[in-house]
Amino acid sequence: MSRRSFLAGSATAVAAAPVLGAVPASGTVDVVVVGAGAAGIAAARRIVQAGRRFALVEANDRVGGRCVTDLQTFGVPYDRGAHWIHTPDANPLAKLAPKAGVDIYPAPPGQRLRIGRRNAREGELEDYLAAVVRTNRSIAEAARGKSDMSCAQALPRDLGEWRSSVEFLLGPFGCGKGLDEVSVYDFARSAERDVDAFCRQGFGALVAKLAEGLPVQLSTVVKLVEASRRSVEVETSRGRLTAGAVIITASAGVLAAGKIKFDPDLPKRQVEAIGKLTLGSYDHVAIELTGNPLDLQSDDLVFEKAAGQHTAALLANTSGSTLCVVELAGPFGKSLAAQGETAMVAFATDWVADLYGAGIKKSIRRTHATQWSKDPWALGAFSSAAPGWQPARKVLMEPIRDRIWFAGEAVHETLWGTVGGAWESGERAAEAALRRIGR
């Protein structure tokens, strides 16, 4: 029942670094790729295969975007961003992992449910899962209607005592937002993500491995994109680039904030689409617990029978380590993140203690909380469409003046909110740009 799991924060260490090339900061190239996250890396690799000259510029001092592995904070791989590899049999990054020398292994099936300080009985777990299934069916049925609505409006009325738990699973945990903010069309069209895998070295490490050899210009901020019928001018903090096409993979949050200017201005259609694909809030608090005081297996996923919005999820002993990650998401997670890391850690540790006993606090060593909404080059976790605005994803796929393409997880109709979706979007944009300039 687990869905997407983008986590908030900013990284201090990356598990692998790209090789810097000799592409000039100023000059003429065939394609400029803005952003070296999954979409930008995928686009650049496809352009390399076509033998075209390109510039790959990244505002941050690292590659990976919202997918990054930290090796320093705890001394083990710690994914500060994306961690779940959804549908590994079809996921393009999972297929590339063996050649990158990275170990992919299946996530445990199912989930655990706590009721107070005990595990749910078999019948209780069945009731909860049945409520989840009914809710998914109800949303799918609503999506067959002629008009869009919020997922909250489509909820069954008989969820009873399971309502808060179901709302958290499908809303904050699955979409980074409350269900009242998510389109039933968008939710229903998202691909199933019930089969997952993990990367032992870290998902961010895999993405960084796939960037090795690319001539990435780090700490290079794109300020202005000027498009004409003949070319595109890209003004950066290091110089000006001229190209036949540009692929912009900045997050919807960064685009909505106007951090990249356009001349002429973006068409109204694209501006409205960006504004309706806002990023949700998804942070996690990593807690180092010695001695496995929770008595959980590697990568066990735990929810609780919640009595309201003040709840979370727990991913225990990630990849066999001593790290337990508390997932804080949606409106309540956003409010905690606004209060800062101290408040986030305090809630997370108290929440785990409420489920497993106050004695577990004696086993806590180091902690860390991520805050993607404060990362200047992300400004949130991942996108979901507002009610009535699911077509916005297709709008962002349209080229502007046949020179500018957008790519990223927000520009994928079924794999939004996933690294695999961002990767496929980057490849698709690269193919379109290559067709435009001629192979």
- How many residues are given for the chain? 439
Helices (H), 311-370: 330-339, 341-356
- Binning pLDDT at 50, 70 and 90, where does residue 24 land? low
384 domain-assigned:
yes
Query: Phi then psi for 173, rounded to 5 degrees?
Result: -70, -40
d(CA 347, CA 350): 5
Q: Is 208 helix (H, G, I), strand (E, B) or coil?
A: helix
- Residue 199's nearest CA partner among 73, 88, 41 is 88
- List the CATH number of the domain containing 243: 3.50.50.60
Which amino acid, 162? Answer: W
d(CA 199, CA 134): 32
Query: Phi then psi for 290, rounded to 5 degrees?
Result: -85, 145
Chain segment 57-96, per-residue pLDDT in tens: 999 999 999 999 999 999 999 999 999 999 999 999 999 9
Any residues with CB less than 8 A from the CB of 97 and at least 6 apart, and which?
A: 103, 104, 199, 206
Give, to the nearest 10 degrees, the angle between helix 419-437 and helix 38-49.
Answer: 40
Average pLDDT over residues 19-44: 84
Average pLDDT over residues 207-219: 96
Full DSSP string of 252-313:
HHHHHTT-SEEESPPPHHHHHHHHTS-B--EEEEEEEETT-TT---TT-EEEE--SSS---E
Any residues with CB less than 8 A from the CB of 74 and at least 6 apart, and which?
A: 286, 288, 321, 323, 366, 368
d(CA 295, CA 360): 11
270 domain-assigned:
yes
Question: From the CB of residue 139, how many other CB atoms can be counted at a distance below 10 Å?
Answer: 24
Question: From the CB of residue 58, how many other CB atoms can be counted at a distance below 10 Å?
Answer: 27
Q: Which residues of 381-415 are buried (b: 16+ CB within 10 A; e: fewer)?
A: bbbbbbbebbbbbebbbeebeebbbbbbbbbbbeb
292 domain-assigned:
no
36 domain-assigned:
yes
Range(s) of the domain holding residue 32:
27-65+91-105+199-278+378-437
d(CA 430, CA 432): 5
The residue assigned the tokens 């992300």 is 378
Helices (H), 69-117: 92-100
pLDDT of residue 122: 96
239 domain-assigned:
yes
Any residues with CB less than 8 A from the CB of 230 and at least 6 apart, and which?
A: none
d(CA 15, CA 393): 32
Which residues face 278 on adjacent strands? none
Q: Taking the model in full, what pTM does it have? A: 0.94
Bridge-based pairing of strands 112-115 and 301-304 is: parallel
Q: What angle do CA 437, 393, 47 make, to 5 degrees?
A: 30
217 domain-assigned:
yes
Tokens standing for residue 273: 């689409």
pLDDT of residue 5: 34
Average pLDDT over residues 113-122: 97
pLDDT of residue 208: 98
User: What single-letter DSSP state applies at residue 37?
Assistant: S
Element (H, E) at 378: none
For the four alpha carbons of 173, 274, 42 and 374, in that order, the dihedral sign comes to negative
Q: What angle do CA 50, 56, 60 make, to 5 degrees?
A: 155
Peptide bond into 264 cis (omega under 30): yes
d(CA 128, CA 122): 10
> Is the pLDDT confidence value at 284 over 90?
yes
47 domain-assigned:
yes
Full DSSP string of 411-438:
G-SSSTTSHHHHHHHHHHHHHHHHHHH-
Q: What angle do CA 173, 179, 183 make, to 5 degrees?
A: 115
390 domain-assigned:
yes
Any residues with CB less than 8 A from the CB of 376 and at least 6 apart, and which?
A: 59, 259
Question: From the CB of residue 132, how many other CB atoms can be counted at a distance below 10 Å?
Answer: 17
d(CA 139, CA 174): 14
Chain segment 125-153, per-residue pLDDT in tens: 999 999 999 999 999 999 999 999 999 99
Query: Phi then psi for 284, rounded to 5 degrees?
Result: -135, 155
> Is the pLDDT confidence value at 194 over 90?
no
Chain segment 233-283, per-residue pLDDT in tens: 999 999 999 999 999 999 999 999 999 999 999 999 999 999 999 999 999
User: What is the count of structural domains for the chain?
Assistant: 1
Chain segment 382-414, per-residue pLDDT in tens: 999 999 999 999 999 999 999 999 999 999 999
Which amino acid, 147? Answer: S
